[in-house]
Structure 1
Amino acid sequence: MNKTTRPVPAWATAVAALPAEWFRAARWFQAKAESVRSIRLVDVLDLSPLLPPGDRRLSISLVEVAAGDGTPELYLLPLCLEPTGKMGPGSTFAVGAGWTVREALDEPALHAMMIRLMSEGRTLAGGRGTFHFESFPLPLWRQVHSLAQNSTNSLILVKADVVCKFIRRLPAGQSPELEMSRFFAAAGTFQNLPPLEGALSYRDVGGREYTLVIARRFVENQGDLWHGTLLFLSQWLHLLTETQPGIVTEPPLEDASGYLDRVRRLARVLATMHRTLSAEGLEAAFAPEPITPADLAGWCSTMTAGAAAILDKIASGEPGSHPATRDFYERLPEMRRQILAAFSRLTGLQPAGWVKCRVHGDFHLGQVLLVGNDCFVMDFEGEPLKASAQRFAKYSPLKDVAGLLRSFHYAMYAALFEWEERHALSQEAFGALECRLAGWSRLVEQVFRETYFAEMGWIEDGGLSEFLAVLKLEKAVYELDYEINNRPAWLPIPCNGIKACLKEILHT
């Protein structure tokens, strides 16, 4: 029997109590730069009847949020309703008389219940659709731990064996990650990813499917390569400022040798993944296809339209205080002309022998898990801001290469900006360190490219090099849009990246 006789609020009432500011502050919410127009409960799976008797109520809620002038988007919210006065983790919001609502990601009972339902392969009815739990052949555990929430989804470690990823923003259709993971499991030739253990999906009354949760076996690791790179660069900056006060345009190779070994291994892992995805005899959804001039023209058109929309958004904003961002804003008309001119060079390339296949789509250092001396690849969802069809599309494997090379450049500036903030650098000192790190970035890119192309059996001629340079620019422009919506303080990084890419392509 419940411990309270207070009427339990409906889940729709609980969702209505969540303030717009809470959504906009969440790492997983996309439209941070927009005002929230409406918040509406679309469907809910109330797990309370499956729990032991008590005051607490748990649910998996699907919530539609409309922001700015954009189309409403669907989000996954695990929620907890409990009597006022209970001290749960995170922010709580009053719901009616005597109740509060909060996010339930840290609730052991929620994850224990989900694992049980996965292991049983249950399908449960919501109000407007069905929730399907796929097989999860592991025991029921209750110990859970929320992992660092620095991505657009939420990761929960269940005991020390399983990581559940809650996909917060929900485009219609099966998750690319779920489809890719099943493909790799069946192929058996690429094993550098944590094994898939289970999933939760939702099907609405119209038959549209949504992937809500993906569960993977936990792999012992030393963290991701993004944080590993930042740590390396921080230590290296400390070494340089202590022992080499003068300006050095190229870093000593021996100072980066251990890191370069990791880069070579990562290049081999990525090449193995791409060879698996471009093998002959695959099913239609994965079968590789030749790249044609029409593909290049279509990609050029897509890049041009996307860049124009992003630069229009930039033009209507404020430049901020950082010199790199101010310079970009001041030269915006010139930047626009150069970016579009660079993209147009795609149509002049000759793609004979080039192949397109399924790719990771959002490959960067944060998607690489350090496992001993090896590298595992994570998160095959594709770029968060791209439409669902684009995240399933076939593309040149160089798209992933471009994403990683941009990530090295990103790490360089992230480390440099953090160092500048900690040490209040003069403009001259900042320029000296920027010069040194640029040398490191060039060295890392060279090592990665040489190893990757050798593993793929490709010769990096002028055409492939120019194609890769344009893909790097496309990624940098995408980064600009991403940071506007998620981390405005990081805008100087893609601004610098775009200028570097343009210099490489147009020799400006």
Structure 2
Amino acid sequence: MSAPVRTSVASDEAIAELLRGWAPAQRWFAHKGVAAHVVRLERTPLDEGGVAQLVALTVRSGEGEDAARTVYSVPITVRPAPDEALAAALIGELPDVDGSPAWIYDGPHDPTWTRALLTLVASEEGAGSTTFGVHGHSAEGGLPVPAGARTKVLSGEQSNTSIVVTAEDGETPLIAKVFRVLSAGDNPDVVVQTALADAGCGRVPRPAGWVDGQWTGPDGELAVGHLAHVTEFLAGSQDAWRVATAAVEQHRDFSGEARELGRATAEVHAVLAAELPTEPATPQRLSALADGLLERVAWACTAVPQLHEVAAAARERVDAVRHVGDAPALQRVHGDYHLGQVLHSQTRGWVLLDFEGEPLRPLAERSVPDLALRDVAGMLRSFDYAASTVADPGDWGPVCRQAFLDGYTAVAGTDPRVGGQAVLLAALELDKALYEVVYEARNRPDWLRIPLDAVHRLLAADPS
């Protein structure tokens, strides 16, 4: 454990008040538009000076004691004087912290905080207490963690915060992902990527380490889980969404890239099936899956009146899942797979990222074996969205979809377009499109036609 440092217990209420007003405006705050009440604040220092700190902020969303509670990870730095370089990251000023003023900054934007985190990982030490503490771990055989480095927060993320770490001595740059919503249990991003890397799979970034710890959970009981993950940063790479949409805009054939992406996806699925537990797709599991898909149909049709006319056909399509007799085994999957979750590296080809699964689903659900075809369905929908970024994409989308499936089939050895797999894939793609219809209706009405057209097209097609 690190040497004990002086922190101010008296300032906890003031910091909680600062964060109560600041946190709901951040992209990672999950319950926007709902009254947020700070239920609990815990703090632990990450360095000996007490500048870098980590806050576990328990927030009740809505009114009443039965309202949902969420524990957020809020990195902060506490400084005795303002820092002009961090002006954009200022959370607020406290007039009296242990008799002196203090300036509170958003930790990921302060290099001092990131260096303290990396020091824990490199030294495999801990900080804090048995009720709220953190512990660093270096990945066995993984990348070295630099002691001194330049840091930069990536923009555009919603559910987490990622910090690029560039070493000054030519070492491999890293990226530290801070999980913003704290959930008890092992985070799939750490478990799945580590398993793939340990198996020698080059389709994921190489790990450097992670931070886990313990905190008071939403129910008031002690929770244990992951707080951050540090991996290789592929400098100079481009995310597949940008590569694909550029091809659409240029009316350029993308089938070769799509085929290779299909191969890469199947390679990752094969390694996951070999390295992590699998389960047979029993009739009971398929029936449970069908029940869940039927619930999604009902939810979507209730939320978006335009879906009422296709409700019966959608129910028939997803209910067919329970009658599939040759379903593949259930296994660990990506869980939230689309073009934005893949990078293209000049030296490595396609590299898959972010194995957390859907961020709003409970962590326990995201760790349960699933059909690998769910990832396939997600990528097929992503090609449809990419094609829709221009007014007249021609046959760009359908060509890419078929090329992706050709590449996937070549490695997987079975064709998702044939037999029972075709029934499963059709149901899973429809499920994804229904979710998109509700999302767009609520958030981007101008985009609603994209998934709505897809629902009609999918229901008109014969899965076999």
Which category describes the TM-score, using the shorter chain as reference length?
A: 0.7 to 0.9
| Inter-CA distance 108–408: structure 2 relative to 1 (3 Å threshold) | same
Unaligned 5+ segments in structure 2 are 1-7, 168-172
Are 2:346 and 1:365 equivalent residues in the alignment? Answer: no
Counterpart code for 1:90:
A
Are 2:432 and 1:475 equivalent residues in the alignment? Answer: yes
| Inter-CA distance 207–402: structure 2 relative to 1 (3 Å threshold) | same
Match among 334, 346, 363 for residue 309 of structure 2: 334
Counterpart code for 1:102:
Y
Question: Residue in 1 aligned with 2:52?
Answer: 58
Deviates more, 1:330-339 or 1:468-477: 330-339
| Inter-CA distance 12–335: structure 2 relative to 1 (3 Å threshold) | farther
Are 2:414 and 1:455 equivalent residues in the alignment? Answer: no
Partner Cα separation in structure 1 for residue 448 and residue 288 of structure 2: 24
Identity %: 25
Query: TM-score, normalised to structure 1's length?
Result: 0.77
Q: Deviations over 1:382-431 (max 9, x none)?
A: 11121222211111211110111111112233x23xxxxxxxxxxxxxxx
Q: Deviations over 1:328-368 (max 9, x none)?
A: x44243354444343222223x2325222111111111110
Question: Residue in 2 aligned with 1:248?
Answer: none
Are 2:459 and 1:505 equivalent residues in the alignment? Answer: yes
Question: Residue in 2 aligned with 1:193?
Answer: 204
Contact 2:281 2:329 in 1 (8 A): yes
| Inter-CA distance 473–353: structure 2 relative to 1 (3 Å threshold) | closer
Within 5 A, what are the aligned runs for 1:104-115?
104-115=107-118
Question: Residue in 2 aligned with 1:321?
Answer: none
Deviates more, 1:300-309 or 1:381-390: 300-309
Output the aligned Cα RMSD: 2.7
Match among 169, 178, 195 for residue 166 of structure 1: 178
Are 2:72 and 1:75 equivalent residues in the alignment? Answer: yes
Query: TM-score, normalised to structure 2's length?
Result: 0.84
Partner Cα separation in structure 1 for residue 361 and residue 297 of structure 2: 13
Contact 1:221 1:370 in 2 (8 A): no
Deviation at 1:222, TM superposition (A): 2.3
Unaligned 5+ segments in structure 1 are 1-6, 52-56, 237-254, 315-328, 417-432
Question: Residue in 1 aligned with 2:156?
Answer: 149
Within 5 A, what are the aligned runs for 1:305-384?
305-309=295-299, 312=302, 314=303, 329-348=304-323, 350-352=324-326, 354-372=328-346, 374-384=349-359
Contact 2:188 2:367 in 1 (8 A): yes
Deviation at 1:15, TM superposition (A): 2.5
Flag the structure with higher strand content: 2
Partner Cα separation in structure 1 for residue 330 and residue 366 of structure 2: 14
Flag the structure with higher helix content: 1
Deviation at 1:9, TM superposition (A): 6.0
Within 5 A, what are the aligned runs for 1:184-263?
184-188=196-200, 190-204=201-215, 206-236=221-251, 255-256=252-253, 259-263=254-258
Partner Cα separation in structure 1 for residue 126 and residue 315 of structure 2: 49
Partner Cα separation in structure 1 for residue 460 and residue 342 of structure 2: 31
Partner Cα separation in structure 2 for residue 293 and residue 507 of structure 1: 25
SS in structure 2 of the partner of residue 27 of structure 1 = coil
Deviates more, 1:61-70 or 1:211-220: 61-70
Partner Cα separation in structure 2 for residue 65 and residue 76 of structure 1: 11
| Inter-CA distance 127–438: structure 2 relative to 1 (3 Å threshold) | farther
Partner Cα separation in structure 1 for residue 135 and residue 313 of structure 2: 49
Partner Cα separation in structure 2 for residue 156 and residue 61 of structure 1: 18
Deviation at 1:216, TM superposition (A): 0.4
| Inter-CA distance 354–48: structure 2 relative to 1 (3 Å threshold) | closer
